Structure 1
Amino acid sequence: MPNDYATTFRIVDADDDGLISATEMSRLMEVLGQPITAEAAAAAIARMDRDGDGLISLEEFAAYLG
């Protein structure tokens, strides 16, 4: 399942560290024309973050979307 979302994940993961941060989520939403606050970006990350590290891995991303 993670491979199904890998391309999208890589687009959002702007610094290519294998994780999506709240900053990257905020940038994505701005590019999509739906800017969000830093707090909203952090809340979005928290909803997907299963291991509590404050970042989204490909596995967490795929599990949330799948």
Structure 2
Amino acid sequence: MPDTTEYEATFAFVDADSDGLISAQEYADLMHRLGDTCTEAQALAAIEAMDQDGDGLVTLDEFIGYMSDHEA
């Protein structure tokens, strides 16, 4: 299992505007940069899966929690 610093580095990479939150738009932009297709609905669903407080954004703690729970 990766340690939290690896998750923090990944989070910082996705958090394009460095506001400490990952939005659906940032998620979709990352998927497009990686050459993947991602609809607005898919991006919203991905954020919703990680978003624990229902504000539509993912914090570092939410991201770490999600990644830790879904480690293969």
State the TM-score bracket (shorter-chain normalisation). Answer: over 0.9
In the other structure, the counterpart of 1:21 is 23
In the other structure, the counterpart of 2:67 is 65
Which whole-Å CA distance do the structure 1 matches of 2:31 and 2:61 have between them? 21
> 1:2 Cα deviation (Å)?
4.1
Report the TM-score when normalising by structure 2: 0.86
Which whole-Å CA distance do the structure 2 matches of 1:18 and 1:2 have between them? 15
SS in 2 for 1:46: helix
How many pairs align?
Answer: 66
Whichever of the two has the greater Rg, that structure is 2
Deviations 1:13-48 (A, max 9, x none): 000000000000000100111120011100000000
Unaligned runs of 5+ in 2: none
Q: Which segments of structure 1 move beyond 3 Å, counting only runs of 4 or more?
A: 1-4
Report the TM-score when normalising by structure 1: 0.93
What CA RMSD, in Å, does the superposition of the two structures yield over aligned residues? Answer: 1.1
Unaligned runs of 5+ in 1: none
What amino acid is the match of 2:52?
R
User: With CA pairs under 8 Å and 6+ residues apart, which has the higher RCO, 1 or 2?
Assistant: 1
Deviations 1:42-61 (A, max 9, x none): 00000000000000000000
